[in-house]
Amino acid sequence: MAPVRIRHPKGVATIQIDLDGENVSVQDLQQAIHGATEILPSRQSLKSGYPPRALTLIPELPLSSLGLQKGDPIIVSELPGEPPVNAPAVTSAPPPEAASSRSPLETVTGALSQLLPGSSSKGPDSVEVDGSFLIHRVVPDDNSCLFSSVALVFEQSITKASQVRKIIAEGIKTNPETFNEAILGMPPPKYIETISKPSSWGGAIELSILAQHYQTEIASIDVETGRIDHFTPPGDFSASMRCILIYSGIHYDAASLAPMRDAPDEWHQTLFEIKSSDDSDPILVAAKKLADILRSKKAFTNTSTFDLKCEQCGKGLKGEKEARVHAEQTGHTQFGEY
C-alpha cells in the first residue's frame, strides 16, 4: 500500500492504495476516492501529472492503465449533471502541450495553481445584499484566470479571454513611457510576447491597463487578508463604476450580483455604481463577507510561505520565490505541497 495525495472540492486528503498491485483496478481507486470525498465513482473526474492530464477512467482496467507513479498527486472534481445509467465515467485526455512552448518560469505558476483548493460541489458561495446575492463566479484554473474573470465581467463570456490579452498588448504598445522595461521587468516586446501566450499569468500591471481601457475601477479582494486593492483609471478621469475580482493568492475569480442564487447568467450584474470611495461601499462590504466565507474554507494559498517539494528531485522549497529560482536553475517544473 502507498499513500496517494488527492485534492478535491472540499480540501486535501490522503488515501492508501497499492499502485503496483496486479489485482488492483481503476474501480478500486475510484472507491477509495469515494470514501474520502463522497463523490460517486460515476461522477468523478481525475487529473494528474504536469501539465495536469485527464485520466481515462475505465473501471474494469488495472490501475496501472492510468500510468500513475508513486508521489503523483491526483486532482479530483465532480462531473456536472447525472451520468447515463450503467455508463462508465470516461474522460478523454487533452493533447499534451509541447515542452518547448513554455519556459520553466512560465510553468511554475501553472504548477502552483493546481495546489489551490477547488470550490464546493454544492455550488458557488454567495452573500445576500438587499434582497439580491453577490455570487462567487468561479473560472477555470488554466493560467488565464485573470483574463477569463475580466472577460466575464466586461464581455459576459470567459471565451473572450484571448481578446483581453490583446487589450493588454495594445495598452503596452501605446504607452511606452509608462510601461517601460523598468516597470515590466523585461523589454516591452518580450513582455507582450509573453503575456500573449495562454500559459502566462496576469497581475497588477494587467489590471491597471484594463481599468484604463474600460474606464472602470477594478477592485481586487484578497481572500487570505481581506485587503482590497483598487485599480483605477489614471489621469483626471473619475470612475463612476467598479467591478469585483476575488484573488486567492494564485487564482482570480469574479463576483456578480443576481436576484437569486441560481439565476441564469444573463441576469447577473457585473458592474456597480461607486457609492463610496472607501471600503464602506455596500458592494465592497459584501465582497469582504464573501472573502470571509472563502477564507473559512481555506480557499487561498500563501505563495510566500507554503512548503513545497520538487517532485522531480525531491528538494524542499519555501514559497513561490524559491520554486521560481529552482525552476530557473534546474528546469524542473513539477511541485507538490508537503
- Please give the torsion angle defined by the CA atoms of residues 15, 17, 20 and 23, in that order, rounded to the nearest 10 degrees: -150
Q: Which of 28, 72, 142, 279 is catalytic?
A: 142
Peptide bond connecting 140 to the previous residue in cis, omega within 30 degrees of 0: no
Write the Ramachandran bin of 67: left for phi over 0, alpha for psi from -120 to 50, otherwise beta.
Answer: left
Active site residue 145: yes
Active site residue 251: yes
C-alpha pair distances (Å), 190 with each of 100, 129, 130, 176, 212: 17, 44, 47, 13, 22
**Residues 6+ away with beta carbon under 8 Å from 35:** 15
Q: Which of 251, 281, 310, 326 is catalytic?
A: 251
Q: Which of 125, 136, 141, 145 is catalytic?
A: 145
CA dist., res. 29 & res. 25, Å (int): 7
CA dist., res. 305 & res. 319, Å (int): 5
Catalytic annotation, residues: 142, 145, 251, 332
